[in-house]
Amino acid sequence: MQHSLRLAPRRRGFHLITGEVEAALTELPRLRVGLLHVFLQHTSASLCLNENADPDVPRDLELAFNEIAREDFPYAHTAEGPDDMPAHVKTALIGASLTVPVAAGRLCLGTWQGIYLCEHRDRAGPRKLVLTIQGELD
């Protein structure tokens, strides 16, 4: 089964989207065992699994990635603003897809894990996800 999920625009940073993903998967409660593949159709944002409890974690991740892919680096690609090429670097490092196991109608995330949209642009638009779920229904 496959669904499209359009996420509202968000400010730059790491945003927990686990609930939005789960809500879009209407057949999830009936899935006995399977896999969820989440694919982000953009090149200046990414997806990751990380801690979902302490709000310092997404803030610290944003600080660290801003150091790794600095806006003041002498990039050649600058036509779309100073945050664009660093956004592409961050996406290349983090990735645009995730695969999460499913069992007994639930995502098999660890106790402290959540799915994050990593928004790397200052003024991004909506983001689109393709959610593909495979498995055995009850």
Token pair of 8, please?
A: 């509202």
Secondary structure (DSSP) of 63-96: HHHHHHT-TTS--S--TT-TTHHHHHHHHHHH-S
Cα Rg of the chain (Å, integer): 16
- Predicted model pTM: 0.96
Question: Could you read off the pLDDT of 34-67 as tens digits, one per residue?
Answer: 999 999 999 999 999 999 999 999 999 999 999 9
Question: Could you read off the pLDDT of 96-123 as tens digits, one per residue?
Answer: 999 999 999 999 999 999 999 999 999 9
pLDDT given at position 61: 98
What is the pairing mode between strands 97-103 and 127-137?
Answer: unpaired
List the domains of the chain with CATH numbers: 2-137 (2.60.120.460)
